[in-house]
Structure 1
């Protein structure tokens, strides 16, 4: 994590590039904040001297996972100070837009609600224009205005504690109000994909990404952008609709479950988006129909997310490739929604040959063990009362199965498709085991695949994960090995 620095320490070694580079590595500074930016920072503070305090600045901080960058940050007991540097004049509208964005992100830092925002624009070597964003208005101010905010001594903070990336990475389904207000962020990779699709011509496109990569948010933002351009957009969700999608429909969106496919007149739309496409069973029919579509089609999915052996999984996207009609194949690969430590734990849980000490912090993972199912289900009630989303494996409507004993609530694998929650709890019963290759598997011959349902449930979490292990010491042993390795 980025260390704070007295800016004088950087200024005094500007003439020694090798030493400056080594010091930047020590501070964990981002490489993109180059020597030229440090020199501009020196020129600004020379311009403001002597009435300024240079200690405890965070230089070039980037919010982890989403890479939102700030030139200079300092934290006092009362407020965050943010100064952006410009080496040449840009429009005041661009300055305002950037500071408004910075305000949105910085106000979500824990324990801080007051943010003082400035942009310093270099006019020539020894002169700067200073702009301040206050109460929504951008004004040019005197150097003395900025100096007043630089008199107070900054303090060291733990950025990993006060800045939580998941606060900015919302789900259209579980943070629907924030989504409708455009209060979210797309990574650079997502923005590039969106731009290519929006500027592309009619035809078929595909978008693949794993759990936590922001694939669904990107697909729905693409729909949002097309609707803003007064395009008619239809989203086909290849599962049952969730509450968030129903809320979007009540706000003018047009989202239908795949079971309604035959009753939709697609020629009335300019853009059609298929989400969770790997679950579709009528792939050939869809490809045939949309090969003649006079608009744009986006097929989105994750071939690792399936629940029944009859679902098409990777075959859906293979068939799309084989038809030779795809204009562009997009992939989002970086996990941005799931907590990194939780994501690492999940990988090691499903493959115990990958167990090592990297990035698994115990404070994000909770484990309880019970010898029988009745006590475990009772504990699930306590978890739910404590704000956890307890997600059960979907059971068969026709046959009795072992997992019926651990069916806790109405919230099951099929009902959480595409959703994310801050805190997720799951049950792991005696049906789970590790095969000879160290892969997690399930012995229960259930209607739906128990291992895949567990993966679906467990990857719904954004921050914290609670595993309730029932009568399965092998799984308990593996979980403890993963977590105790991190000591």
Structure 2
């Protein structure tokens, strides 16, 4: 989406024509649903600017931009080489505290561009202009000062605004970035905020109940769960249970969050006492065995229990013991949510991984420019291919592909290279399987799925002595 002249879109015309004009000027992929009150506020803003400066018609703004996958929207953004001016539009009276919170949040999202940010709100019904100070206060703003900023001689950004904002920049992990989490240097997406609101509303009313939210890796489940834990722990003690976690990634949080006790699922033994906690939260609940889940449920009294789980529908049920997941889904009066916005990954790569784990019955999307699949006839060829990928910056680790093994020193990789040997095959239903036997909750296919989902940008698969899997994946890349 490109910047537009707000002078041009505030000329009198009907809404239908205006929507066509806006799409033509911005290059937006869809017709923007323009709100009458916002349009009137923008007209009032333009009139006020004209009273204080010349050539308002030359000003260019990104209008009604929403960061992809985050649901964060800005009314007006002027982005120049040397600065950013953000103007939010309001029609009716709104409290200074509400304005302050919105502008602080906007500044956080804009800060990734590394330029000075000037934040304003215009309330058209009051013809009132306010700004956010460097000390996070709301003060009355001067029109001449705003006009001086807007006339800054540095060049306007002329590209697509989506290229400046990558959603994954904003999703932190409390486990790998605990200090950022403790300083509250994050914001939830609109979907995360809605799930949090519904869960806390019912807990405040009933003080009990079962809750579950799930999603693909990278949808921000752990961040949401920790954010809820922080809220609940403001007045009461809560218990956070981690499942299948290797090491002590939560050690810093354990030290700093005194009202949250951190448990491993290995600590769920008979008997356990949970009476001191006002709420129980379970992270990575898909890794909780059915036996430990039953023991946990037996020990819970009336406290609310919140489960966070990865979606693993694309893995064969023969590779996973789903008794625990099935039990959670059928708990009495459980409130279930599904996170759908994949933040920490390239959507194309995410789609490929899902289709790779369970081949689509019809045609898949054609073309995966961030995926490479190559063939090695022996281990020597595989080693050379991997060496080449490593020289290009790809991360590589030999089997087992354990997403919980933090030996690489990072939880996610921009570029990831993986070798698939002849232990893998596709069954008659199109599921990727492994002929190595092991505990179902720790199957190689399951480990592989979660390991692959660490990739953020590009994935390279080296297929070693396995023509059947190689052929299937080549067809998938061709959309067959």
Q: Is the 8 A contact 1:271 1:297 kept in 2?
A: yes
Once the two structures are superposed, residues 339-385 of structure 1 have per-residue CA deviations (whole angstroms, 9 ceiling, x without a partner) of 21211222332315455336x552x3344543333553576577668
Once the two structures are superposed, residues 271-315 of structure 1 have per-residue CA deviations (whole angstroms, 9 ceiling, x without a partner) of 11122223223232222222xx142221232351889968642x2
Aligned alpha-carbon RMSD (Å): 3.2
2:178 paired with 1:176: yes
Equivalent residue of 1:15, what SS? coil
Partner of 2:268: 261
Q: CA–CA distance in 2 between the matches of 1:173 and 1:465? A: 24
Partner of 1:415: 405
Distance apart, 1:462 and its partner CA: 3.2
Once the two structures are superposed, residues 411-470 of structure 1 have per-residue CA deviations (whole angstroms, 9 ceiling, x without a partner) of 724536x95444443322223333444443334445653322221211223333333332
After superposing the two structures, state which structure 1 stretch, 157-166 or 420-429, moved more: 420-429
Partner of 2:343: 336
Q: CA–CA distance in 2 between the matches of 1:73 and 1:238? A: 43
After superposing the two structures, state which structure 1 stretch, 139-148 or 421-430, moved more: 421-430
2:77 paired with 1:73: yes
Q: CA–CA distance in 1 between the matches of 2:365 and 2:335? A: 39
2:126 paired with 1:133: no
Partner of 2:279: 271
Distance apart, 1:248 and its partner CA: 1.9
Once the two structures are superposed, residues 179-231 of structure 1 have per-residue CA deviations (whole angstroms, 9 ceiling, x without a partner) of 2222222222221221222231332313131223222221111111112x232
Q: Is the 8 A contact 1:307 1:449 kept in 2?
A: no
How many residues in Structure 1 have an aligned counterpart in Structure 2?
457
Partner of 2:295: 285
Partner of 1:468: 462
- Of 86, 92, 101, the residue aligned with 2:90 is 86
Partner of 1:34: 35
Q: Is the 8 A contact 1:208 1:301 kept in 2?
A: yes
**5 Å matches for 1:443-462?**
443-445=435-437, 448-462=442-456
Distance apart, 1:132 and its partner CA: 4.3
Q: CA–CA distance in 1 between the matches of 2:240 and 2:388? A: 37
**5 Å matches for 1:282-361?**
282=291, 283-290=293-300, 293-302=301-310, 304=312, 312-313=321-322, 315-320=323-328, 322=330, 324=332, 326-350=333-357, 351-353=359-361, 355-357=363-365
- Consecutive unaligned residues of structure 2, counting only runs of 5 or more, are none
Once the two structures are superposed, residues 367-413 of structure 1 have per-residue CA deviations (whole angstroms, 9 ceiling, x without a partner) of 4543333553576577668765435543xxxxxxxxxxxxxxxx724
2:163 paired with 1:161: yes
Q: CA–CA distance in 1 between the matches of 2:33 and 2:16? A: 16
Task: State TM-score, norm by structure 2.
Answer: 0.84
Once the two structures are superposed, residues 154-187 of structure 1 have per-residue CA deviations (whole angstroms, 9 ceiling, x without a partner) of 2312223211100111222222222222222222
Q: CA–CA distance in 2 between the matches of 1:104 and 1:43? A: 28
Q: Is the 8 A contact 2:2 2:161 kept in 1?
A: no
Partner of 1:425: 417
Partner of 1:246: 251
Once the two structures are superposed, residues 122-152 of structure 1 have per-residue CA deviations (whole angstroms, 9 ceiling, x without a partner) of 244xx34242434544332211111012224
Task: State TM-score, norm by structure 1.
Answer: 0.83
Q: CA–CA distance in 2 between the matches of 1:207 and 1:81? A: 40
Partner of 1:399: none
Q: Is the 8 A contact 2:78 2:85 kept in 1?
A: yes
